[in-house]
Amino acid sequence: MSILKYLETARHKVFAARKYLKVLGFSSFHTAPNSSVELHSQEEEVVIALGSNVGDRLHNFKEALKLMRNSGINITRHACLYETAPAYVTDQPRFINSAVRAVTKLGPHELLSTLKRIEKDLGRTDGIRYGPRPIDLDILFYGKYKVSSDILTIPHERIWERPFVMAPLMDLLGSAIDSDAVAAWHSFSGHSGGLSGLWEDLGSESLIGKEGMYRVIPVANGLLDCSRRTSVMGILNVTPDSFSDGGNFLSVESAVSQVRLMISEGADMIDIGAQSTRPMASRISVEEELGRLIPILEAVVSMPEAEGKLISVDTFYSEVALEAVSKGAHLINDVSAGQLDSNMFKVMADLDVPYVAMHMRGDPSTMQNSENLKYDNVCKEISSELYSRVREAEISGIPAWRIIIDPGIGFSKKTEHNLEILFGLPDIRKEIGTRSLSISHAPMLIGPSRKRFLGEICPRPAAERDPATIAAVTAGVLGGANIVRVHNVKANLDAVKLCDAILRQKSSHMNSRL
C-alpha cells in the first residue's frame, strides 16, 4: 500500500471514530502535538484572544490579523478593544486586549503552531511568563472539543479568572446560543448560567471604565474612550449647496477661519464635507469632490490650533476616503455605510482609521421618497439594517473596534421617525446587541443639527434652529450618544457638558446604591 493510500485510510478511520464519539456525546479531542500530520479537515469554529503591550500595539494587532487570515484562519467576528492594566507581573506597560471568532480547518496543534509562528514573526521571544510581549495569541476555544496535551489545553485554563479575556469573549458571544460550538463553550465554564453567568459574577459591565480596564477605539495614534465624556464634532461644509451653510466656506481662508472658531469654542473633532447630502442633492464626481476637499483639508491639518483635534472627512467615495487619509484625515464618515461605493469596505479595511457607518435608505436624491420612508418599527428596522451593513464591513476586514454607528437622523426619515430615534437610542443599541454585543458597544454619533424636522416642529429657517438643535442634542446624549455633530459648537458644548454631568451623577448614585 502506498503512503498516500495509507494516510487516506487512516484519515477515514479517524473521522469515523470521531463521528461515532460525537454521536455518543463525547467532546474530548486528543491529538499528538509532535506528529507530522494532524488528521483534521473539518472546519471548526474557534476563539482566539489577542494581547500586546510592546512597540506599536495597534500595528501588532493589524499584522497578527493579516497573518492569521493568510494562514487559513478565517476571521468572522471581532470583539471590542480594551486597554487594561497588566496582570500577574504588574511592573510593565499597559496592554491592549481583544478577541476574534474564526473558522479554520487547522487541527488544534496545527493552529497552535501557526499562532506561535505569527508571534515569532512579530518579534516575540522567550521571556518571563506573563511579561511584556509585542503580541500574545491564545486559543480560548476550539470547536466543541476539550483538548489536553503536554503543550495545549483547551479551553484555556485561566479564562474564568481574567476580566480582560472575559470582556472581549462576551462581546463575541452575547447572550445568543447561535451554534453547537457556542453551546459547548458555555457548558465548559462549569457555571449554571454559562459564560454569561460567570461574567455577571465577575462584575460584567461594571468593570468597564474603571482604572484597570477601558473600552477604547483607536484613532490618531492614540486610544479614545468615548464613555468618559461626549465628543463634539463641528461641521465644515465646503459645498455651494448644503442646506444650512452652503457657499459660506468655499475658500481656504474662510474654511480655516471657521475651523479656528469651532476649535476655540471647544470642538473635539472637525467633520469636513465636500459633497452635499441634503435631500434631493445631485451627486458630484470623485474628481470634483477631491478638488473641493483636498486644499482645505491640507490647510486644516497644518493649522497649529488643530493639533490634538480629530479631523473627519464626510464622504461615500472610497477614492476620496483613501486620499483624505493620506492627507491626514483621522476618520471617515460615510452616510451610506458602504452602499454607494462597493469598494468602500475593502479600502477601509486597509486603513487604520475609524469608520462611521450611518443608516440611510437609497441615496440623497431618493432617500425621502415614499418607499424609503416606510417603517413599521423605525428603531428596530434601523437596528437591523444598520447591523447588516456593519456586519458586511466586519466580514470585509474592518474590525468592530474601528466602527462608529450613526442611526441617520434626517436621512430617509420623517419627523416622527427622527423623534422616535432620539428617545429610542437605548432601544437601537439593545436591538443591535441581540445580534452582536461588540457592535452594540460601538460609539454612537448623532447629527440632528438644524435639520428640517426641527423646522417642522419649530417653524424657523435653518440658520435659526440652534435652540431646537440643543434640545435634540440633549435628548440624544441622555439617551447614550457619544458624539454629536453640530454647526454651532459653543451653544451645544454647554448642553453636552450639562448632560455629561447628569449622567455622571446618575452613575455615581447607582453605584452607591449597589
Query: What CA–CA distance (Å, rounded) separates 490 from 266?
Result: 7
List the one residue out of 141, 192, 150, 146 whose CA is nearest residue 168.
141
| Cβ-proximal residues to 349 (8 Å cutoff; 6+ apart), any chain | 396, 397, 398
Contact in structure between 311 and 330 (CB atoms under 8 Å): yes
Please name the residue that has the C-alpha cell 494581547: 51
SS3 at position 388? helix
Task: Tell me whether residue 229 is one of the annotated catalytic residues.
Answer: no
DSSP state of 230: -
Helix/strand/coil (H, E, C) string of 15-41?
HHHHHHHHHHCCCEECCCCCCCCCCCC
485, 490, 497, 513: the active-site residue: 485
Q: Are 84 and 8 in contact (CB under 8 A)?
A: no
Which residue type is seen at 406? D
Q: List the catalytic residue out of 57, 309, 429, 451.
A: 451
Buried b (16+ CB within 10 A) or exposed e, 98-126: bbbbbebebbbbbbbbbbeebbeebebee
Q: In terms of Cα–Cα distance, which of 102, 127, 128 is closest to 115?
A: 102
Taking phi over 0 as left and psi of -120 to 50 as alpha, with beta for the rest, 342 belongs to alpha
Q: How many CB atoms lie within 10 A of CB 295?
A: 15
Specify burial of residue 196 (Cβ count, 10 A radius: 0-12, 13-18, 19+): middle
Task: Report how far residue 143's alpha carbon sits from residue 44's, in angstroms, rounded to the nearest whole number.
Answer: 5
Q: How many CB atoms lie within 10 A of CB 455?
A: 17
CA angle 501, 505, 510 (to 5 degrees): 150
DSSP-H helix ranges across 397-451:
415-433, 437-440
Q: 292 catalytic, yes or no?
A: no
Total length of the chain = 514
> Whole-angstrom Cα distance, residue 232 to residue 269?
6
Residues known to be catalytic = 451, 485
